[in-house]
């Protein structure tokens, strides 16, 4: 069964009252087991590595430049018993965070990306994306955020509006970070340890150029996990072990076989011919490390 839900996973800093930190660096390795191919014998494992570095460059109290790279790699079999393949995505963030007032902030970030198997790279492997985020600080412990993400993918243009909120309890133990329909993270902290549950949706595309294949892989992945987190160095370093359930589908198409427009939940004008079988869901294990910088709060 095809995944018609188009979701995007991206990393960006949001300055808000409830979220008084920036994750400057994160690295995650995940592995899902025995992903069966639909209506066929055989299965594949899917492993991935995500690395994100954010470098904020303050200009003054109002403006901060946001930059840094994001790298993602996936290793899997596209066909049963046909050997493993690797696909990669490297994104460069360049944008501006603006403090408009005590209540309103914004982020506008340009996201050019190189996404392919990194074989015989051409200009066709370059994709362009961008994100606009508006944040409203309702109170010290609660804020809203909304905006839109758009990107040129191998399968066409995707546009995804989103809405979410950040909440932190008064004692600082219970936190919610929700960005519908893309992700959520809900957790409770016991000083050195934190228990949480999270969800992430991933939608990407990668050109496959090896041996002049002229294909592309359309990734549609949903990850649901629970995690335990060790907080060290005054909660600046977070070490997470995750267990859960993931769908990791990589549909293969001929390059140039596109949709008219991709939106969250459906695609307009999708008459593509899929060249491989769908990959089914399976159990997932992931390990993640985060370096978190807490923004000093101004005293009135």
**Count of structural domains within the chain:** 1
Q: Is the peptide bond before 272 cis (omega within 30 degrees of 0)?
A: no
- pTM for the model: 0.89
Does residue 50 lie in a domain region?
yes
199-45-219 Cα angle (round to 5):
55
Q: Is 44 helix (H, G, I), strand (E, B) or coil?
A: strand
Q: What average pLDDT does the segment 58-67 reach?
A: 93
pLDDT of 4 over the 70 cut: no
Q: What is the mean pLDDT of the chain?
A: 89
pLDDT of 299 over the 70 cut: no
Does residue 60 lie in a domain region?
yes
Supply the CATH number for residue 105's domain: 2.40.160
Cα→Cα distances 208→13, 88, 283, Å: 31, 10, 27
The contacts of residue 83 (CB under 8 Å, 6+ apart) are 77
Summarised one tens digit per residue, pLDDT across range 71-121 is 999 999 999 988 999 999 999 999 999 999 989 999 999 999 999 999 989
- Per cent of the chain over pLDDT 70 is 92
pLDDT of 3 over the 70 cut: no
Residue 7 and residue 200: Cα distance in Å, rounded?
9
Does residue 8 lie in a domain region?
no
pLDDT of 276 over the 90 cut: yes
Does residue 217 lie in a domain region?
yes
Range of the domain at 80: 21-294
Does residue 16 lie in a domain region?
no
């Amino acid at each position: 069964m095809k995944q018609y839900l188009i979701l995007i996973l991206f990393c960006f800093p949001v300055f808000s009252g409830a979220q008084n930190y920036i994750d400057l660096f994160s690295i995650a390795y995940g592995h899902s087991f025995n992903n069966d191919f639909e209506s066929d014998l055989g299965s594949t494992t899917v492993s991935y590595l995500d690395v994100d570095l954010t470098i904020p460059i303050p200009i003054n109290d109002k403006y901060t430049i946001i930059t840094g790279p994001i790298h993602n790699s996936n290793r899997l079999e596209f066909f049963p018993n046909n050997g493993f393949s690797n696909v990669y995505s490297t994104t460069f963030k360049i944008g501006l965070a603006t403090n408009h007032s005590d209540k309103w902030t914004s982020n506008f970030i340009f996201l050019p990306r190189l996404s392919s198997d990194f074989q015989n790279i051409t200009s066709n492997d370059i994709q362009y994306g961008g994100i606009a985020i508006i944040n409203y600080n309702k109170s010290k412990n609660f804020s809203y955020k909304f905006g839109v993400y758009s990107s040129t993918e191998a399968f066409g243009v995707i546009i995804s509006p989103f809405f979410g909120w950040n909440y932190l309890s008064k004692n600082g133990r219970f936190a919610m970070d929700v960005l519908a329909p893309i992700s959520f993270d809900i957790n409770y902290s016991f000083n050195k340890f934190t228990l949480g549950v999270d969800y992430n949706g991933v939608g990407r595309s990668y050109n496959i150029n090896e041996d002049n294949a002229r294909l592309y892989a359309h990734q549609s992945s949903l990850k649901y996990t629970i995690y335990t987190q060790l907080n060290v160095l005054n909660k600046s370093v977070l070490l997470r072990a995750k267990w859960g359930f993931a769908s990791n589908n990589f549909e293969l198409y001929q390059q140039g076989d596109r949709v008219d427009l991709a939106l969250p939940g459906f695609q307009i004008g999708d008459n593509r011919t899929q060249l491989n079988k769908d990959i089914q869901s399976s159990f997932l294990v992931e390990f993640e490390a985060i370096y978190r910088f807490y923004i000093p709060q101004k005293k009135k």
